[in-house]
Amino acid sequence: MMNWDQIKHNWPQVTREIHSTWGKLSPEDLVTIAGRRKQLAEFLQKRYGYEKEVAEKKVDDFAQKLQTPV
């Protein structure tokens, strides 16, 4: 599992996975989010209508599925 410091550091690579998972997030959204967990959850709430707790769980589940780069 990648932690959020790793995700932020590897944001250009992670954005491909995020866009594949949540296609409603635009490239501009991903630039604004810039690897910040809270902002990703907020954008998921806006774009998908998730409740706050659901969005945060989805973000955490996503991070858990990411493999740490070698």
Is residue 45 in a domain? yes
Is residue 21 in a domain? yes
Q: Record the pTM.
A: 0.88
Q: What is the pLDDT of residue 66?
A: 84
Is residue 48 in a domain? yes
Q: What is the pLDDT of residue 58?
A: 96
Q: What is the pLDDT of residues 5-62, one digit of tens each?
A: 899 999 999 999 999 999 999 999 999 999 999 999 999 999 999 999 999 999 999 9
Q: What is the pLDDT of residue 70?
A: 42
- In the 8-state DSSP scheme, what is residue 69? P
Residue 47's domain spans which residues? 4-65
Q: What is the CATH number of the domain that holds 20?
A: 1.10.1470.10
Is residue 70 in a domain? no
Total domains in the chain come to 1
Q: What is the pLDDT of residue 9?
A: 92
Question: For 25, what's the count of Cα atoms within 13 Å in the CB-facing half-sphere?
Answer: 21
